[in-house]
Amino acid sequence: MPDWVEAGCNEYLKRLPSELNLEIIELPLGQRGKGADINRAIQREGEAMLKAIGEHDHVIALDVLGKPWSTEQLAEKLQHWQLSGDNFSLLVGGPDGLAPECLERANSKWSLSALTLPHPLVRILLVEQIYRAGTINAGHPYHR
């Protein structure tokens, strides 16, 4: 990721309260390029994602066909996630989307936008929105 993405994410990560542990796991993309088998690349990415999540994790797949959530809805979901005591995994697909197995494994599907967003923006957007949702739940004035 570009330095500005790392700096932005790190800023929001350090602001998160200790009870909200967010870990970013970056997995390598499947091989792309001239003559590459895109379906095979998506499959390999999906296999890597499924190996990286816990067997009992609650999985949220980011998918353009998913349901859009407002920041307030995300805050409600975040509060529920924290109270459940479970681990939650957000899956962000490669440039060609998530593998079908990842979508099948997902407990819910979330659409950030109908727009196609580049991965650097998605990463910082997710971290900022999780931070923002946490501030809403804590009654902090950041959201206004």
Domain ranges of the chain: 3-143
> Residues 7-31: what's their mean pLDDT?
90
Q: Which two tokens stand for residue 110?
A: 């979330």
Number of other residues whose CB lies within 10 A of the CB of residue 55: 5
Could you tell me if 33 and 44 are in contact, meaning their C-beta atoms sit under 8 angstroms apart?
Answer: no
Among 84, 133, 138, 124, CA closest to 3 = 124
Q: What is the pLDDT of residue 142?
A: 87
What pTM was computed for the model? Answer: 0.89
Q: Where are any strands of DSSP class E within 16-114? A: 58-68, 88-91, 108-111
Tell me the pLDDT band of 18, cut-offs 50, 70 and 90: confident
DSSP letter for 28, please: P
Q: What is the pLDDT of residues 37-54, one digit of tens each?
A: 889 999 999 999 999 999
Q: What is the pLDDT of residues 79-132, one digit of tens each?
A: 998 899 889 999 999 888 999 999 999 999 999 998 888 989 999 999 999 999
CATH code of the region 3-143: 3.40.1280.10
Instruction: Look at 11-20, 71-80, 128-137 and tell me which has the smallest mean pLDDT.
Output: 11-20
